[in-house]
Structure 1
Amino acid sequence: MVQEHRADPAAGPSRAAPYPVRRDAEETKAAILRAARYLLARRAHADITLKAVAERAGVSPPLILKYFGNKDALFAHVMSFETDAAALLDAPLDRLGAHMVRHVLLSQAEQGADPLLRIVFAPLHREHGDVLRANFRAQVGDRLAARLPGPDAGLRAELAVGMLLGLGVMYGIVGGRALHTTAIDDVTERYAPAVQRYVTPEDGPGAPVAST
């Protein structure tokens, strides 16, 4: 077991950890990855230091080197959307819109890390931004499109993902007051049908059956 400090997940990256805790190796690596993802969605890659990641994660910089080797190796993990896409798309088609909306909101509210939002800042990251874009298209957009029945699956997938990104920006970057003071279930109920229309067009294959 490795002893370290845990930062308040709602605090900024420079806030000191308030108390010591113990995590196992997997929990520690997950905390480091969450911190790196948080920072990548808010700063240029070149401006992110291992010290900032460590402070955000509540660990020491040498611990990051122990688990990931160096900054480039750490961010190679962060620039992949593979794991995020698996969780985002883990629902039947007729409930996928609601699942995706809820997942985006809960990830930010409970973990401080949107599964998609770091793609918005790809232009900040120069050549690393090209990697982010390529990964996002293949691992999120193309993967969703492959699940969609009916015509124009690629376009519909991109429109659905665009709606999720807009929601993530309003919740996590703009910090919309109304969004933050409204229950996630209520926001999902309002927003998910618009996303679902791209997933399963009305009267199309796989469209949800209307309740009676």
Structure 2
Amino acid sequence: MTTRPIIVTGTDTEIGKTVFAAALAGALGAHYWKPVQAGVEDDGTDAMRVARLSGLPRGHVLDEAYRLATPCSPHLAAEIDGVTIDAARLALPAFDGPLVVEGAGGVLVPISRRETYADQFARWGAPVVLVARTVLGTINHTLLSIEALRARGVPILGVAFVGEPVEDSEATICAMGGVKRLGRLPRLDPLEPAALRAAFAANFRLEDFA
């Protein structure tokens, strides 16, 4: 069982990254943290979704460092809300056990006018799980994300796919990107905690996250 932080990021927004983060955090019995939340959906914040889906004790789902009202890129949401994001408040919390940290959108989403999430990941130095869709366009988006992370020296634990199986795309990404294929989480309808736990257990190996 891992005791180090794991960062969950994505190739784009609305790809299933939060659902995967909930599944991973629940399987590891980890703490979960999304440091910056920009906008609140009808079903609440991402932390609220993770609390519902993961089965974690409420105390394991940490409050955001910044909860911004405007639903857009964090750098612009902060400006609109009159907030300055202080990098010191984004330092990783220290726990004896595992910590799952979720980014926002893709790896090059700006946190400020000077830095992206990938820059913050490099500062943290923790390994990244890159969540990618299996639909058309995923090869380009995922390989570009891998290049952006590697350019900053960010360690990549592997790629977790979300969606229907597309064998060639998944295999091509991992071969050309030189990354581990961690598994694929199917879309679940209805999306319920028990079904998510079962789907994660059937498609991923916990030892790959150690």
**Same fold judged by TM-score > 0.5?**
no
Higher strand share: 2
TM range (shorter): 0.3 to 0.5
TM, length-normalised to structure 1: 0.33
Higher relative contact order (CA 8 A, sep 6+): 2
TM, length-normalised to structure 2: 0.33
Higher helix share: 1
